[in-house]
Amino acid sequence: MLVLDDAQRAMLSGADGAARALELVVAYGEAVGAEALIPISGAHIDGCLHHGDVSLDFVRQFVDLGAKVRVPTTLNVGSVDLIHPGRVRPGAQTADGRALMQAHVALGCTASFTCAPYQLAAHRPAKGAQVAWGESNAIVFANSVLGARTERYGDFIDLACALCGFAPAYGLHLTEKRRASLLIEVRSGSLDAGVAAVAAGLALGREAGGRVAALTGLPEAIPEDDLKALGAAAASTGAVALFHVIGRTPEAATMDEAFHGRPPAETLIFDEARLRAELAILSQAADGAKLSAVSLGTPHFSLSEFGRLMPLIEGRRASVPFTINTARAFLPQLEARGWASALDAFGATLVADTCVYLAPVLEDLTGAVMTNSGKMALYAPANIGCTIAFGSLAECVASAGAGRVVRL
Amino acid sequence: MRFLVPGPVDGERLVLTAPISFWGGVSPVTGCIIDPRHPQCGAALKGRVLMLPAAKGSSSGSSVLAETLRNGTGPIAIILGEPDAILATGALVARQLYGIICAVAVAEGDAFLALAQASGR
């Protein structure tokens, strides 16, 4: 039974947007068996993609009521690149997609339009912060890599939490639900580190089910970018919202901390053969196959990923379209570092605010599309109707030069 | 029965024998089940009380339920075998936006089976 405090009851009895939002959060809380609502310190909204007229009607009711979000709130990608008009080919839903993005901004949300809000220094929640985040890769990153606390919010309810400032106290908001029960030993052998992270994520999503896993055997200083790729893959093959990496992530300095002093209920080993089997499923195009495009940045490419890419493209030229999805916030820094012009000389096209696996950006899909993203590889064939070649960052660059799938 | 979204639950019942994801499983345009692996694939939700042992899948199910209700192709009520926050949210959004009532009730365990059997399934 969900019990509200005095402030929450007073908010609910109002006639404003916060009251309507709270009404939704209360219904949601009752359905998930929460006993209370807790204040949140931030939100990330995955509501800028159009699922029908109800998507826009929902946001506009709050705009019409003059409602504003009560906590700092970032926005996930939309269906249009508002920074580079025309980069996404116009279609039937362009106007609605643009209106949906603008309506969220009118509610006081930050016009971040990125699926990687955790890359924005001003929007990284602290360890232990209670937040309401949407978008599966952002959720798993916030919980796992930052140690913030969110459940898997989505349609309507993420925005409702932001507008009333409360979330139901259940699931991963609660300490006991964050305890690992499954131990996974990763033995990646000779695999490229970035590729191994994707493969481990794919396998994790298939095996974990509703369980929280703790991983060992990853490189000691595994970069955030690789944890991003791992989490995004795990949240694509399964409903993973939290994993720990022993010795690396905030709630897993030791085995004891990750497992809350109890023994693992089960131990699995992801060896090189298992990881290679995951990768074999991912890549549909044969080595040497003709490429139509290369796409990086699903989830959005970080500045450090650009930093790794720049030496690889030096003196090279892509012979096929080469797109990189990234946050609009990084565009000025790419200019300032001289990277934007180098990327342009190489033949790369920057896409902001959206992602090529959602929006019509690529024109020719007769050949394969190559990516280093497990998430892109899983979703793009159904979303945009292409064949995928998966490879490391270096293989993506080499293949772009050759116009066919090159293995290094 | 416990109500997540209040309202009447009387009417012709459609009893599903397997869980369903509204997103990808139900067409918001026709209100019919379109998941080819679902045993009641092809059945229409419109005007019926949907008896659902469990919901599953993407949170975009909220949008799909609300969109069927907006389109007039959705169920008049939903009786669930276990609580589901995604469908409760979709029904509540349709009530807030369009004044369309689609009750969402939970009848757990034997109560759900008794209701399903009373519906001739």
Question: What ipTM was assigned to the predicted interfaces of this complex?
Answer: 0.86
Q: Is B5 helix (H, G, I), strand (E, B) or coil?
A: strand
pLDDT beyond 70 at B121: no
* Interchain contact, B63 vs A52, CB within 8 Å: yes
- The answer to whether A76 and A114 are in contact (CB under 8 A) is yes
- CA dist A69 and A73 (Å) reads 7
- For A176, the enclosing helix (H) or strand (E) is none
**Which pLDDT does position A382 carry in this prediction?**
82
> Which of A124, A143, A156, A188 minimizes the C-alpha distance to A56?
A156
Q: What is the CA radius of gyration of chain A?
A: 21
**Which pLDDT does position B58 carry in this prediction?**
74
Interface test with B, best of A2, A46, A53, A54 (most B CBs within 10 A): A54
> Vertex A390, ends A357 and A143: CA angle to 5°?
65
Q: What share of chain B is helix, strand, coil (3-state, %, to 5)?
A: 30, 20, 50
Helix ranges, A223-328 (H): 224-237, 255-258, 272-282, 303-313
Active site residue B59: no
CA atoms within 13 A on the CB side of A5: 7
> Which of A326, A325, A322, A335 minimizes the C-alpha distance to A397?
A322
* Interchain contact, B67 vs A61, CB within 8 Å: no
* Interchain contact, A27 vs B89, CB within 8 Å: yes
Strand (E) positions, A172-212?
Answer: 182-186
Strand (E) positions, A24-148?
Answer: 37-39, 43-45, 73-75, 132-133
- Amino acid letter for position B34: I
**Which pLDDT does position B120 carry in this prediction?**
57
> Which of A167, A200, A169, A164 minimizes the C-alpha distance to A185?
A200
pLDDT tens string B25-55 = 899 999 999 988 889 999 999 999 999 998 8
Per-residue pLDDT of chain A (408 residues; tens, 9 = 90+): 899 999 999 999 999 999 999 999 999 999 889 999 999 999 999 999 888 899 999 999 999 999 999 999 999 999 999 999 899 999 888 999 999 999 999 999 999 999 999 999 999 999 999 999 999 999 999 999 999 999 999 889 999 999 999 999 999 999 999 999 999 999 999 999 999 999 999 999 999 978 999 999 999 999 999 999 999 999 988 889 999 999 999 999 999 999 999 999 999 999 999 999 999 989 989 999 999 999 999 999 999 999 999 999 999 999 999 999 999 999 999 999 999 999 999 999 999 999 999 899 999 999 999 999 999 999 898 888 899 999 999 999 999 999 999 999
Sign of the alpha-carbon dihedral angle for A259, A264, A266, A267: positive
> Which of A354, A351, A371 minimizes the C-alpha distance to A294?
A371
Q: Is A55 on the interface with B (CB under 8 A)?
A: yes
- Amino acid letter for position A10: A
- For residue A266, what are the β-bridge partners? A182
b/e burial code for range A7-39 (CB count within 10 A of at least 16 → b): ebeebbeeeebbbbbbbbbbbbbbbbebeebbe
Which residue does chain B place closest to A28, by CA atoms? B85
Position B71 confidence tier, pLDDT thresholds 50, 70, 90: very high
Which residue does chain A place closest to B82, by CA atoms? A31
- CA dist B99 and A252 (Å) reads 48
**Which pLDDT does position A164 carry in this prediction?**
98
Q: Is A45 helix (H, G, I), strand (E, B) or coil?
A: strand
Q: Is B61 on the interface with A (CB under 8 A)?
A: yes
- The answer to whether A198 and A233 are in contact (CB under 8 A) is yes
Q: Is A153 on the interface with B (CB under 8 A)?
A: yes
The label of the residue with tokens 């009447």 reads B8
- The answer to whether A194 and A224 are in contact (CB under 8 A) is no
* Interchain contact, B84 vs A31, CB within 8 Å: yes
Helix ranges, B56-120 (H): 61-71, 85-98, 110-118
- For A67, the enclosing helix (H) or strand (E) is none
For A170, A212, A257, the CA distances from A181, given in Å and listed in that order, are 18, 6, 12
**Which pLDDT does position A92 carry in this prediction?**
81
State how far Cα A397 lies from the chain centre.
23
> Which residue would you say has higher pLDDT here, B23 or B43?
B43
- CA dist A164 and B82 (Å) reads 27
**Which pLDDT does position A239 carry in this prediction?**
85
- The answer to whether B91 and B78 are in contact (CB under 8 A) is yes
Q: Which two tokens stand for residue B93?
A: 């959004």
Q: How many CB atoms lie within 10 A of CB B100?
A: 18
Q: How many CB atoms lie within 10 A of CB A5?
A: 11
Q: Is A173 on the interface with B (CB under 8 A)?
A: no
- CA dist A226 and A116 (Å) reads 13
**Which pLDDT does position A351 carry in this prediction?**
98
Chain B residues with beta carbon closer than 8 angstroms to that of A53: 67, 70
The label of the residue with tokens 């892109």 reads A376
Q: Which two tokens stand for residue A249?
A: 């992530």
**Which pLDDT does position A237 carry in this prediction?**
87
* Interchain contact, A154 vs B58, CB within 8 Å: yes
Q: What DSSP designation does A90 have?
A: P
